[in-house]
Amino acid sequence: MGTESDIKLINEDGTRIDGRTAEELRPIKIETNVLNRADGSALIEWGGNKILAAVYGPREAYPKHTQDINRAIVKCKYNMAAFSVDERKRPGPDRRSIEISKVVSEALTAAIMVEKFPRAQVDVFIEVLQADAGTRIAGLTAASVAVAAAGIPMRDFVVGCTAGKVEGKIVLDLCKEEDNFGEADLPVAVMSNSGKVVLMQMDGSLSLDEFNQATEMIVRATKVINQIQRDALSAKYAASMEGGE
Ligand code: ADP
């Protein structure tokens, strides 16, 4: 959240800086199995974000002391490419990427049937090629598709969206300017069928009413985004049935 700005985020007619209405998503496109060597992969384009998710496993967990005799462990690595932002980002892990890796791992663990694969690990790589706000949610949404494309049994899809507060107004799916200069940013991910919340973080502040309004918007949006996830998987399946892959 930014502290000060002269930038006008809400137009006279109530639309947002990029022309969207309060509850309008940026365009979202998902393509599955874009990488040959991964067991499953997905490329998501969500507004100005371009993010690749690659999944490997389940395979024997290594080093051995990390193995859990009761379930697979899900190891996620979120990384932002040096060229993904305006100013070159210093390559390699930082506190932010370590934190995102952790919360995304936990969200995916809830959705994957980890108990079916004792002593195994599932590796999930999220590579942000172009960042434009909401990358943790877009990366997680793509990773969930990549896990499904890898044929790893899941209870549910994980699907997320952000909402936030901009010039006093609750809006869905913050863009970069809104994320930088808005008053609150609330990324949330849920399981598509059970509706269980598996990730929730917040920057800034909201009243309880605003919080409820934001989460309701998010939940409505996840239904739309989940359909895009499902369509991406069935499009690939249909192509392979036609002998395309
Ligand atoms: P998220 O991408 O999940 O919204 P943040 O709220 O931490 O996570 O970041 C918001 C946006 O700020 C990112 O999507 C990206 O566009 C930008 N950003 C994050 N980290 C950096 C960085 N190190 N350098 C430049 N821009 C960054």
Query: Which residue, by CA, sits nearest to atom 4 of ligand 1?
Result: 134
- Residues touching ligand 1 (Cβ under 6 Å) are 85, 87, 89, 96, 131-136, 176, 179, 185, 187
Structural domain total, the chain:
1
Distance from the alpha carbon of residue 231 to the mean position of ligand 1, in angstroms = 28
For residue 39, tell me if it sits in a domain.
yes
Distance from the alpha carbon of residue 156 to the mean position of ligand 1, in angstroms = 28
Query: What's CA 83's distance to the chain center, in Å?
Result: 20
Which structural domain, as residue segments, surrounds residue 132? 28-244
For residue 13, tell me if it sits in a domain.
no
pTM of the predicted structure, to 2 decimals: 0.95
Distance from the alpha carbon of residue 12 to the mean position of ligand 1, in angstroms = 28
Specify the pLDDT at position 238.
65
Query: Which residue, by CA, sits nearest to atom 23 of ligand 1?
Result: 89
For residue 114, tell me if it sits in a domain.
yes
pLDDT one-digit tens code per residue, 22-70: 999 999 999 999 999 999 999 999 999 999 999 999 999 999 999 999 9
Neighbouring C-alpha atoms within 13 Å toward the C-beta of 80: 25
For residue 36, tell me if it sits in a domain.
yes
The residue whose CB lies within 8 Å of the most ligand 1 atoms, and thus the one to mutate among 80, 136, 185, is 80
For residue 20, tell me if it sits in a domain.
no
Distance from the alpha carbon of residue 150 to the mean position of ligand 1, in angstroms = 28
CA distances in angstroms from 43 to 50, 79, 126, 145, listed in the order given = 7, 14, 10, 9
- List the CATH number of the domain containing 216: 3.30.230.70
In tens digits, the chain (245 residues) has pLDDT values of 655 557 899 999 999 999 999 999 999 999 999 999 999 999 999 999 999 999 999 999 999 999 999 999 999 999 999 999 999 889 989 999 999 999 999 999 999 999 999 999 999 999 999 999 999 999 999 999 999 999 999 999 999 999 999 999 999 999 999 999 999 999 999 999 999 999 999 999 999 999 999 999 999 999 999 999 999 999 876 676 665 44
For residue 22, tell me if it sits in a domain.
no
Query: Which residue, by CA, sits nearest to atom 9 of ligand 1?
Result: 133
Q: What atom of ligand 1 comes closest to residue 139's alpha carbon?
A: 3
Cβ atoms of 159 and 192 closer than 8 Å:
yes
Query: Which residue, by CA, sits nearest to atom 26 of ligand 1?
Result: 85
DSSP string for residues in 172-216: ES--HHHHHHSSEEEEEEEETTT--EEEE--EE---HHHHHHHHH
Cβ atoms of 184 and 206 closer than 8 Å:
yes
Distance from the alpha carbon of residue 131 to the mean position of ligand 1, in angstroms = 7
Q: 18-52 burial, b if ≥16 CB within 10 A, otherwise e? A: eebebeeebebebbbbebeebbbbbbbbbbebbbb
pLDDT one-digit tens code per residue, 102-114: 999 999 999 999 9
For residue 18, tell me if it sits in a domain.
no
For residue 23, tell me if it sits in a domain.
no
